[in-house]
Amino acid sequence: MIAPHPAATMRGIASNALECASQRALRFDRVRSVRRATVARDADARYGSLISETLELMETDEEFQTARRRLDELGQRALTKEERTRRRRALDNLGVPSFEAYLDSKGGEALHRAPTTILQVNIGLFCNQACSHCHVESSPLRTKEVMDAKTAEAIVRVLKNSPGVKTLDLTGGAPELHAQFRYLVIEARKLGVDVIDRCNLTVLYEEGQEDLPKFLADNQVKVVASLPCYSEANTDAQRGKGVFERSIAALKDLNAVGYGVEGTGLELDLMYNPGGAFLPPSQETLEVAYRSELRDTWGVEFSRLFTLTNMPIKRFADYLHREGKMSEYMSLLVESFNVAASVGVMCRDLISVSWDGKLYDCDFNQQLDMPVRGTKKTIFDLESCDDLVGEHIVADNHCFGCTAGSGSSCSGATI
């Protein structure tokens, strides 16, 4: 479950898309059988929780066990430092001094904070899944990193004082499984702020989430859902066995309340990330393929497709190291550097808040424990998001992941 699908890992952009297409005939047989099974289910029956299955797989997966042992022995800080050193070595071999120097040498605009328009909140690391590429290393074992009411109230206070912030972007973990999720949604909507729910789809079938589609629709929440491939095999290899089937069922349930359906105003965007050490294909081209596959095969509708580059950090960095691909991947990112993509990197107008209220320039920096510059380090220190305007953004060698090819951000390609 944990290693990216080996076939996908070995292939390039075009061949991955091709692989999805060429599996079509094969899949139709499987689709028919899955459809038959789905039809055979009682109409009111729901899929069960994934949590016990995820825990079981983590117990038996050698890579998770090794990662856990190393975490116990060395601690998070030492592991993050080790990971950074590996990226640094790869860049040294390429003669690249630093991301910022490289950006400057290509005529890119230095990284300073503009007025904030998006407040992104990582509400906690607990998740019902444990995906192989997860840059926040979420799983059902992350039960301690959970936002409390005091922190959520501070976020609402800052939102009230920040009229320039148009979007509250809720992520995790599986954000919906956290106690403060619905409070934040309701309070932000009262202020007229758009809310994004970064939804893993399978969460719809966790206990207590029976009314989630209705709750999201009632509050006009935008749903951004992960679906790394329209191939069942590739999706399950990256996200866990049974995830694809549940994801399709969840998309249909979201369609049923109006999500992704033209004229409802309920946005349902999908998020693709590569199944290995290669860049995403063109967002526009892939969207066409997704739309046709999902509509023709499953009757699923969605609004837009976003492509995301795998960042060379955390679980994906472990994978690159294990496979001896760190240098190759960093080289790909550097060689694909695109100065136009650097203009739209999300850290320029986004503040990232962690479950315990600390402030970062983006969610990646949050996971690498690289806080914002300046003296205001937590949401409790902020009067409004304007307090950080003009600050120098904290960049490092992982930033090449945001500027390769068409660029990458939480809203997909940056150009």
Which of 17, 123, 127, 334 binds ligand SF4 (CB under 6 A)? It is 127
Which of 188, 393, 404, 413 binds ligand SF4 (CB under 6 A)? It is 393
- In the complex, what is the shortest distance from the CB of residue 171 to ligand SF4, in angstroms, rounded to a whole number? 8
Q: Which of residues 177-216 bind ligand SF4 (CB under 6 A)?
A: 200
- In the complex, what is the shortest distance from the CB of residue 253 to ligand SF4, in angstroms, rounded to a whole number? 17
- Taking CA atoms, 411 is separated from 135, 167, 344, 345, in Å, by 16, 12, 10, 10
- In the complex, what is the shortest distance from the CB of residue 105 to ligand SF4, in angstroms, rounded to a whole number? 16
102 binds ligand SF4 (CB under 6 A): no
136 binds ligand SF4 (CB under 6 A): yes
What is the four-CA torsion angle of 25, 31, 36, 40, rounded to 10 degrees?
A: 180
365 binds ligand SF4 (CB under 6 A): yes
Contact 198, 169 (CB under 8 A): yes
CA-CA distance, 255 to 30, in Å (whole number)?
23
402 binds ligand SF4 (CB under 6 A): yes
- In the complex, what is the shortest distance from the CB of residue 42 to ligand SF4, in angstroms, rounded to a whole number? 27
147 binds ligand SF4 (CB under 6 A): no
Which of 156, 346, 385, 404 binds ligand SF4 (CB under 6 A)? It is 346
Contact 140, 126 (CB under 8 A): yes
Rounded to the nearest 5°, which phi and psi values hold at 41?
-65, 150
5 binds ligand SF4 (CB under 6 A): no
Beta carbons within 10 angstroms of residue 56's beta carbon: 10
- In the complex, what is the shortest distance from the CB of residue 37 to ligand SF4, in angstroms, rounded to a whole number? 24
**57 or 155: CB nearest ligand SF4:** 57
347 binds ligand SF4 (CB under 6 A): yes
268 binds ligand SF4 (CB under 6 A): no
CA-CA distance, 405 to 413, in Å (whole number)?
9
Contact 220, 258 (CB under 8 A): no
- In the complex, what is the shortest distance from the CB of residue 149 to ligand SF4, in angstroms, rounded to a whole number? 22
Give the pairing type, strands 359-360 and 305-307: unpaired
Contact 338, 404 (CB under 8 A): yes
Q: Look-up: residue for tokens 């060429």?
A: 22
Contact 53, 128 (CB under 8 A): no
Could you tell me which of 312, 131, 314 has the C-alpha nearest to residue 227? 131
- In the complex, what is the shortest distance from the CB of residue 22 to ligand SF4, in angstroms, rounded to a whole number? 27
Could you tell me which of 129, 127, 135 has the C-alpha nearest to residue 319? 135
CA-CA distance, 167 to 169, in Å (whole number)?
6
170 binds ligand SF4 (CB under 6 A): no
103 binds ligand SF4 (CB under 6 A): no
Classified as helix, coil or strand, 355 is coil
- In the complex, what is the shortest distance from the CB of residue 233 to ligand SF4, in angstroms, rounded to a whole number? 17
- In the complex, what is the shortest distance from the CB of residue 203 to ligand SF4, in angstroms, rounded to a whole number? 8
Tokens matching residue 101: 């120097």
Q: Which of residues 229-248 bind ligand SF4 (CB under 6 A)?
A: 239
Amino acid sitting at position 78: A
174 binds ligand SF4 (CB under 6 A): yes
79 binds ligand SF4 (CB under 6 A): no
- In the complex, what is the shortest distance from the CB of residue 264 to ligand SF4, in angstroms, rounded to a whole number? 25
**17 or 346: CB nearest ligand SF4:** 346
- In the complex, what is the shortest distance from the CB of residue 350 to ligand SF4, in angstroms, rounded to a whole number? 8
Which of 4, 124, 173, 407 binds ligand SF4 (CB under 6 A)? It is 173
Which of 178, 246, 314, 398 binds ligand SF4 (CB under 6 A)? It is 398
273 binds ligand SF4 (CB under 6 A): no
Long-range contacts of 180-188 (CB under 8 A, 24+ apart): 180/123, 180/147, 180/148, 180/149, 180/151, 180/152, 181/123, 182/215, 183/149, 183/152, 184/121, 184/123, 184/152, 184/155, 184/156, 185/215, 185/216, 185/219, 185/221, 186/219, 187/156, 187/159, 188/156, 188/159
Q: Segment near ligand SF4 (CB under 6 A), from 69-77, 330-338, 373-381, 392-400? A: 392-400
CA-CA distance, 285 to 411, in Å (whole number)?
16
Positions touching ligand SF4 (CB under 6 A) are: 127, 129-131, 134, 136, 138, 172-174, 200, 226, 239, 345-347, 361-362, 364-365, 393, 395, 398-399, 402
